[in-house]
Each structure stands twice: as structure tokens, then as C-alpha cells.
Amino acid sequence: MRILFLLLVMVLSRWVTAQGPSRERISMDRNWKFHFGNASDTRLDFNYNINYNLSKAGSAKGCIAPDFNDSAWRKLDLPHDWAVEQDFVNIKNDGLQDHGFRAVGGLFPEKSIGWYRKSFFVSARDSGNRFSIHFDGIFRNSKIYLNGHYLGNNESGYSEFCLNVTDYLNFHKKNELVVRVDASQYEGWFYEGAGIYRHVWLEKTGPVHIAENGTYIRTNSANGSATVLVETDLRNNTFQASLEQIECYILDRNGKRVTGTVTVSVSMDAGGSVKSRHQLSVNDPILWSLENPYRYKLVTLVKQDGRIMDSTTTSFGIRTITIDPEKGLFLNGKPVKIHGVCCHQDHAGVGSAVPDALQFYRIRLLKEMGVNAYRTTHHPPTPELLEACDELGMLVLDENRLIGTSTEYMSQFERLILRDRNHPSVYMWSIGNEEGWIHSNDVGKRMALTLIQRQKELDPSRLSTYAADNGNYRPGINEVIPVRGFNYRITSIDDYHRENPGQPVYGSETGSTVCTRGIYIKDTVNGYVPDHDITYPSWASTAEQWWKPNADKDWFMGGFVWTGFDYRGEPTPYGWPCINSHFGIMDVCGFPKNNYYYYQSWWSDKDVLQISPHWNGSDHPSGWKMNDSVSVWCNSNAEEVELKLNGKSLGKKKMEKNGHLEWKVRYIPGKLEAFGIRNGKKLYASVETSGKSYKILLNPDRTTIQADGEDICVMNISVVDEKGREVSTAMNQLYFTLEGNGKIIGVGNGDPSSHEPDQYADGKWKRRLFNGKCQVIIQSGDQEGEIKFKASGEGMTIETLTLILTRGKSKKTFVAEKANQAF
């Protein structure tokens, strides 16, 4: 008995004194195996529903078993969206149409179950630590197994989740992680993808550690000083009580200390937890703003007898948000009108598996347009989207997936807030969107009150809103929500504000002009609508109709246009052959439509002068015949614009604030020119009749990328004629090859009715130009060197562009996949 006691003491001692800091976040994105299962035939689903997978601990059978032979499975890296790889199918079904006609979902059992397997090793040196596997997002209903043991499941396709695997790991042999993903059931009414489409991490901490999302930072600034309030959630996963010291200090962007160290001592019972509070002061702080999104770093150390047991570094911004019902939104005491967009998360070529660098690319495009706010419709975003908004200076309305107060939905809401509350870009929470069955009754009101109460408990520094599509109506959610959001019904906002003067008001979803880039006719056969601000659904409005009458109302906080980019699914106003929406200010590649320049004219400080349409003849679907009457639009912030055709003046017009100009012009081939004056500066724009495609132009967003196997180059492609004039109506088929340390991961062109593949498993990459443009997304390899990208087309010479791969300071480490890496 005494020997057993001594052994127990030795074990406990080893557990408690594991050396810190041991915290590490290790990527598990590389080298997975993938195979389809089957939702209707269990034999084709590796006998999942008939095997004894839950009868005994570790007894799982079939492909869940650790010794299962997966050598025939497909090898891939994460993030992965298998939906974007599937064919388009024309079956009359609302859900299928809303999801972009991809062969995934309940109608396609053979393509709606995906199995993933991952082998990895963990060193025996780490056996005294705590381990969790963290999934940023899986679409959709997922079940997780490790070494034959069932760990748990997650139902939402958008909520992160974390599973403690400490007791299940092998430290002297290989570990097998298995994920079964069931995308049979849709969650939204838009393209959602399928699979493990966000990152996966192995997280290691010591037994005494700061909890997941356990650091909460609030800031207040006044009179040249800032107060930083810190709350730390500390856990003691040992069998002994402990006494810890929690130290905090702040670094500036360059790593220089800007505060002293504040220390708080705490005691914890065995297996217990405690929350500590620190207060620090920063003199002459640099405030996070849209123009200068400056961030500091909070360093938190957990010490025991002078030894560091855990440490974290948390980025944050010092800024103050104020929302006033009569004066609107203020950031750091300065008024800000919301120039916002709603966005879904997919992009051309890659679907929902959007690389991190592509998130930054998309936010930069929006910033260039003059956008200052992003609504994450209609679900929690990927963490890298928020990182881009923090770094580039973009406010975020962070939206919950669905209103509900059951254990499941409350958990999703809590995970959203706990994860995102330290991001300075997040200025308000949205508890939900257009819950028409409940938002005007007492059920919705009670749910909203419960969610608001919980939000205030987890994050008292922000307010909540709700995106309501019920006009001038207050009973229900609207009567208890702190900030009233209007989805459309924009003509009702004045009456609502007059009747409810104490409640702030903004447009949570506005606009919804439908346009097809480069098309200027209604084409019901191909499913195209004109690329001018004239066509919109019955519930919505044009850009000018919603913005012009409301831009100068102080109490109106601004609004979020539906949408910043086209997205797969919801092909309004047509169905098949359309497979994605027309709502975007930019298409699904990020190529601007004409409304882009309307918003840029009035939302940015740039000098803007743009004329449309193209000036080509009848060889294009929306080309002009001689002497056709063409509606020529000018989007600009010039005070006055003169239009000329082939040198002849067609007249000058004064620009009305928040408006646009139009001329009716008889089509004659040649050159259409616009001359404007803004603040005494001359502005110029032109479109010109072009000849046939002659030369390919390659326009990369960058020519140097990181050799980390994850960074990307967005290659935008256009063509010019023999005289160097852009052929904005070109529809040529182009072909792409790549040599060197990288790969093509997706192609697109912005055509909402294109049924061309986004990805080519055989490596024979190609894409047709759509109105003069297409896009190729290139991903780097792991080695320094070069990538030679080549594009060719019939009648045009091969164009080559070289990308340079450099080894940067990558913060990411990868889990060991071989025994010698771990041991």
C-alpha cells in the first residue's frame, strides 16, 4: 500500500511540475486522406451504421479503426471544399438552386458524406501536457474519432469547436484522427461548401494554463491615456491545489514595452479554475482606426514559484465605439458613416476553402472601393477574415448563425463571442437575420432577451443588433434589441425613427441591385441582367435609391449593401443556367461591376471618373449596331463632366451629389471620352472600340510570395488587340500551365452562368474569358525558388510570368507525421 502511495505521489509530482511554457499551436492541415462515403448505402459508407463503433472504448471498426488501410484514399491538404469539385446538375429543387446547383446535399447521397483520416505523432516528452484538437470550421455535421475512440460531434458548419484529446493520445506510436463529415442537410440558403474547409490545429498547454479564449481585453481612452482592462480565465488540470502569479504587460507593434508588469496572485483548487483581473495604463496611445489600424500585444505569463507555466500573446487595439440614436456611430470620438457590404465566404475557384491570403485580397478590394464595414452574413466568419479586418482597418458586424436559446444554439453564440471579442474591428454583434417566423412575436422577443443578456455577460463592451426585414414594426425582437437594423424597406426608416427616437437605426441589408459584369441587355436565355444600376428585386432598391436620400441623415448610421461580391447560389432573378447570384458590387472573382464606381465616387476620397458601357459592335451578346441609341453612364465625384465621341462634344453636365450622369448616344465606332473637374483637378476616362484579341495580359496581385505551401498569387488576366486596346468583350478560351514549386488551385471568370469547372484534377487547366477577364489562383510550395506561369489562347502568343518564392518568417509549425520527427 505504501509503495502504491509513493508511486501515486511520483506520478502527481511529474504531472504538476511539467516544465513550461509548453503552449504550442501546431497546424494539422497537411497530408490528410479523403474518401467519399454514402448517406443511403451503409456498405459504401464503410459499414458505418452497422459496425460496433460505440460498444467499447477504442473498439471502432471500418475506416475508423486505427489499423485501417487508407492507402487507396485521395491525399490532400486542408482547407478542403469538396462541393466546389462537383458537377452542376439541373434538378428542380429550391435547396439545390440556392446552393448553386452543385451535386451535394440530400439528393446526392454518394457525394454528401466525406471521410477524412490523418496520421500524426506526439513525442513522449510531452506526455505531461494537455492536448486539444481545434477545428475552425467543418461543413457540416461532423463526428470526430481518435485512435478508435469517439470524441464528439459538431453540428454547425460555421462554429469552431475544440476537443480535449489528452487521455486518448499515443505517445510511443502513431495516432489516427478520423473525421466523418455529413453535408446532407443544408444549413443556409446559399452556397455553403462541404468538408473541412477551415484550419485544424493541435493545441498543447501545460496542466496549469490559460483557458481556450480565456483572455478578454477591454480598453478606454481619454486625455492622452488609455486604460486596458484584462480578464484571464486560468485552469488547473492537476490533482493538487496551486498558487500562481499572473503577470501582464503590453508591447507596441515593434515589440517594445509600453507598460510595466502588473502581477496578480491567485489560488486554485485541484481541478479548479479562477478568473483574475488586471488594469494597465498606456500613455499617449496610438488608437486603432480605419486609417491607422494600429494594434498592441498583451503578454500574459502564468508563473509558479518563479517558473513560467504558461504564456500567451494577444493582439488588441485601443479604440472607443459610441452609438448615439441622434448622431450615429463614433469611432474614437469621430463620426463614421457605415459604408458597408454584406458578404458570403466563397470565392471563384476555391469555393469556401479560401486561403488566408485571399481573405486579405478581398478586404483590400473592398477598402479600395471605399468600404469601411463588413457584415459576416449569415454566420461566424473564419478567424483569418477578422485578422484581415483588424490589420487593414475594416469594421465588422459579427453575425450569429441562427437565433435560438437551446443548449446547442446558445453554445454556438457563446463560442462566437468568446473567440471574437478581442478583435478591434468587431464593433457590434448581430444575434441573427430575418427570422420571419419569430421576430414579430413574443417567442422571438424572449429569445432575443436571453441572447442579449448572455452577450452582455461575455462582452459588456459592445451592443447587439438584429437584421430585421419587417419595416416600420416594433413588437417582438425590435422592441428589445439595442440597435435596430433594417433589411431593405428603406422608405420606412424615417417613420420608425420618428416613432422610436431613442433607438439607433442603420441599414443592416440594403441595395441589392442585380447586375452581370459587362452585359447591357436582359438575357433570359443565358441568365444575364444589365450592368447598370437599374434592376432589383421587389423587396430591394438600386444603389442610388437607398444611398442618395439617406447619406446626410446624422441619425442614420449608414448601411450594408447586399452584397460586396457575387456568391454561388441564390441565382436571382433567374434560375438555371445561372448558378450564382448577381447581387455583388464585384463579381465572384472580385472584378468590379459598374456600381463599384458609384460607391467609390461617394464613399472614398479618390478622384473617380468612369464611363460605361463598352464601345464594341454586334459581335458581342450586348454589342451595338450602327446608330443604336446607347445609354452611356458616368459614375464620378467630379463637379462637372463633358462627354465626347470621336472628338465631338456631346455636352457638359453637372453632377448631383450622390448621383450619376447619363447621356443617350448614337453608336458609331471609335472613342468615347469623359472629361471631369474635381477640386480644380482634371479627370479623364475613355472607352474605345477594339479589334480582335491579340495579346494576353497577366496582372498578378504580387510577384513575390512566401514559400510556405499556403501563400497565393491572384493572377488576373485580360487581353488587348493589336493596338494595345483592351478587348472588354473578349470570350476567348485560355489555357494555363505552371512550372516550379507551386500549383494552381482554382480558376474563375465571374460569369454567373458558367458551368466550367473551378478545378481540374487532371492538371489540364483552362478558363474562358468572360467579358475580357478571368482569374487563376496560384499557391506556393514549400521551397524557395521560382514559379513560371504560362497562359495561351488561339491566335495569341504564349505569355509567361515568373513569381518569386521567398522564405519568410512563418509563425506556423506542423504536426509530426513521422516517428523520427516526434521522437
In single-letter form, the type of residue at position 244 comes to: E
Label residue 213 left, alpha or beta by phi (over 0 means left) and psi (-120 to 50 means alpha). Answer: left
Residue 22: pLDDT band by 50, 70, 90 thresholds? confident
User: Cα(10)–Cα(2) distance, rounded to whole angstroms?
Assistant: 12
Supply the pLDDT for residue 21: 61
Interval 271-300: pLDDT, tens = 999 999 999 999 999 999 999 999 999 999
User: In this prediction, what percent of the chain has a pLDDT beyond 90?
Assistant: 93
For residue range 118-165, list pLDDT tens digits in order.
Answer: 999 999 999 999 999 999 999 999 999 999 999 999 999 999 999 999
Q: What is the per-residue pLDDT across 718-777, written as a single tens digit (0 to 9) for each? A: 999 999 999 999 999 999 999 999 999 999 999 999 999 999 999 999 999 999 999 999
Give the residue, 654 or 490, on which the prediction is more confident: 654
Confidence of residue 620 (pLDDT cuts 50, 70, 90): confident
The 10s digit of each residue's pLDDT in 497-525 is 999 999 999 999 999 999 999 999 999 99
Alpha-carbon torsion angle 410, 416, 419, 422, nearest 10: -110
**pLDDT at 17 exceeding the cut of 70:** no
pTM (2 d.p.): 0.95
Report, as an integer, the average pLDDT of 788-794.
97
Catalytic residue among 434, 479, 640, 642: 434
Tell me the pLDDT band of 53, cut-offs 50, 70 and 90: confident
Say whether 85 is catalytic.
no
CA distance 104 to 98: 12
E strand or H helix at 465: strand 463-468
Give the C-alpha separation, 433 to 481, whole Å: 13
Q: CA of 516: how far to CAs of 169, 349, 523, 559, 578, in Å?
A: 53, 18, 10, 23, 11
pLDDT > 70? residue 14: no
Torsion over CA of 745, 79, 388 and 205, rounded to 10 degrees?
-150
pLDDT > 70: percent of the chain: 96
pLDDT given for residue 79 in this prediction: 98
175-210 pLDDT tens trace: 999 999 999 999 999 999 999 999 999 999 999 999
> d(Cα 229, Cα 528) in Å, to the nearest integer?
53
pLDDT at residue 318, as a whole number: 98
Q: Is 212 a catalytic residue?
A: no
CB atoms within 10 A of CB 328: 21
Q: Would you state the pLDDT for residue 12?
A: 32
Cis peptide before 613 (omega within 30 of 0): yes
- Coil vs helix vs strand at 725: coil
Are the C-beta atoms of residues 191 and 102 closer than 8 Å to each other?
yes
* Triad 497, 502, 505: Cα angle to 5°: 45
Cα 116 to Cα 74, 141, 179: the distances in Å are: 10, 13, 5
Q: Report the mean per-residue pLDDT for the chain.
A: 94
Confidence of residue 810 (pLDDT cuts 50, 70, 90): low
pLDDT value at residue 770: 98
Strand runs labelled E in 37-160: 74-76, 113-120, 130-135, 141-146, 149-154
624 pLDDT band, cuts 50/70/90, is: confident
pLDDT at 808: 73
> What pLDDT sits at residue 811?
60
Q: CA 202, CA 501: separation in Å to the nearest integer? A: 50
When pLDDT is cut at 50, 70 and 90, the band that residue 240 belongs to is very high
CA 132 and chain centroid, separation: 24
Catalytic position from the list 176, 192, 384, 509 = 509
Mean pLDDT lowest among 3-17, 31-45, 532-546: 3-17
Of 445 and 14, more confident: 445
Please tell me the predicted confidence (pLDDT) of residue 817.
Answer: 72
Q: At 159, list the grid cell.
A: 462554429
